[in-house]
A and B are shown apart, each in its own frame.
Chain A
Amino acid sequence: MKPAAFDYARPADWPAALALLAGGARPMAGGQSLGPMLNLRLAQPERVADLRHLPGYAGVEVQGEAIRIGAGTTHAAIEDGAVPGRLGAILAGVARRIAYRPVRNRGTIGGSLAHADPAADWVAVLPAFPGHAVALGPYGERRIPLARFVTGVFETALAPGELLRAIELPVLPETARWSHWKFCRKPGEFSKATACLLALPDAPPRLVLAALDTAPLVIEDATGLDPAALVTSISDPWRRRLALTALRRVLEGAA
């Protein structure tokens, strides 16, 4: 349970971080997924580039109608209200149920999304929002819709050499309706089935079904949705029933 040898670098600015990445270094945010992977030798990078000390990596900024959450913002900061308004209240409720407080103190929203574990909470929840992941590469920033960011199991739309820089989400009206259900047998465990639904006034309800053995399923208009039809491709009967229950609960919860 000891990692293979690796070198450690702490870039002082973003160009230095991108240069390390170009040289093959593995980015590390909170280390709450990478740390266990190193210990278990599932990851054996030659060099780790620690992003935590980069300027502006953590923190939340309101920019007109959008809220920009630095990728390095911890789950604990979001749990404690770093994001303002209705959106912040929704995200705080999600954050509180990720892992355990000592893990949330270091684990970050960006690290979690970039890791793209299909059972992870931000992976399941963020595609419900009409927002973007902001990627940073040598050319500058590029925006990827959250509904298309996670492309598979541990796979994302980030290109080699790119870092996840921030998440941009819309300011939500107080009337936004939100419904979220996840199943785990013990608090802090990875989810076995998650669904969530966001209904904004004058827009079709958006629904996500996640914790599958694929990328999350994003339904941009869940009006009149038949939950049973959505789960037919899940082969394991127990997981299929759980997914169906998740869908029914969020649809009832949002009604």
Chain B
Amino acid sequence: MTRRPITLTVNGRAETVLAEPRTHLADLLRGELLLTGTHIGCEHGVCGACTVEVDGAPARSCILHAGACEGSGIRTIEGFDADPVMAALREAFSAEHALQCGYCTPGMLVTARDIVLRLPEADEARVREELAGNLCRCTGYRGIVHAILRVLAERRAT
């Protein structure tokens, strides 16, 4: 199938890229736009490494194909530099040793930010339930859970 122009907004910038309809968003971001912060693990929706924000909500970029992204607003890990919630999460991830190899981290942070904003009252059990869709092979999750709980507690205190 021939490549065709796909117009979408990525991290606030309008982009038009040439892609086949079958190219998935993670490949489009990494290969065409050189945004390699989005990682690819399983390519069938299970591991969460490729999680990005699509039109304001977390989604798997590996099972979303280029045609379906036409007109969408995408935010990848590179697009959160100025975001205060992400800044707090970055600090907490570092303080709580919430990453080792870092492969799961971009997807983990997008999910973590969604938990913090959507479920301000979440307790440890709920945070763990919500993290079930992001696999980490290094940390055993303890540091990640603590980092998210830390940011939740900070926000409840202010």
Stretch at the interface among A1-9, A58-66, A144-152: A1-9
Interface size on A, as a range, is 20 to 34
B64 touches A106 (CB 8 A): yes
Interface flag for B24 (CB, 8 Å): yes
Q: Is B48 an interface residue (CB 8 A)?
A: yes
Provide the residues of chain A in CB contact with B65, threshold 8 Å.
3, 8, 31, 35, 38, 48
Closest CB pairs A-B (n = 5): A100-B133, A35-B63, A8-B67, A8-B21, A36-B44
Q: Evaluate contact between A7 and B1: CB separation under 8 angstroms.
A: yes
Complex A-B: 26 CB contacts under 8 Å: A1-B43, A1-B44, A3-B24, A4-B22, A7-B21, A8-B65, A8-B66, A31-B68, A32-B45, A35-B44, A35-B62, A35-B63, A35-B65, A38-B22, A38-B65, A39-B43, A52-B68, A101-B58, A101-B111, A102-B51, A103-B60, A103-B133, A105-B54, A105-B58, A187-B129, A188-B133
The answer to the question of A99 belonging to the interface, with a C-beta cut-off of 8 Å to chain B, is yes
**Contact of B63 with A36 in the complex, beta carbons under 8 Å:** yes
**Contact digits for B90-104, partner A, Cβ 8 Å, 1 yes 0 no:** 000000000000000
- Which residues between 4 and 40 of chain A lie within 8 Å of chain B, taking CB atoms? 4-8, 10, 28, 31-32, 35-36, 38-40
| CB pair B67 A48 closer than 8 Å | yes
* In the complex, A76 has a CB within 8 A of chain B: yes
| Shortest Cβ distance from residue A240 to the other chain B in the assembled complex, whole angstroms | 27
Q: Give every chain A residue within 8 A of B48 (Cβ-Cβ).
A: 100, 102
A39 and B63 within 8 A (CB): yes
Given contacts A6-B22, A40-B44, 18 further A-B contacts (CB under 8 A): A2-B24, A5-B1, A6-B1, A31-B64, A32-B45, A35-B24, A35-B45, A35-B65, A39-B62, A99-B45, A101-B111, A101-B130, A101-B133, A102-B60, A103-B133, A105-B58, A106-B64, A187-B129
A52's closest neighbor in chain B, by CB?
A: B68
Tell me how far the C-beta of B149 lies from the nearest C-beta in chain A, rounded to whole angstroms. Answer: 18
Q: Say yes or no: B1 contacts A186, CB within 8 Å.
A: no
| Cα of A202 to Cα of B32 in the assembled complex, Å | 62
A28 to B21, CA, bound (A): 13
Among A1, A50, A101, which residue has its beta carbon within 8 angstroms of that of B114?
A: A101
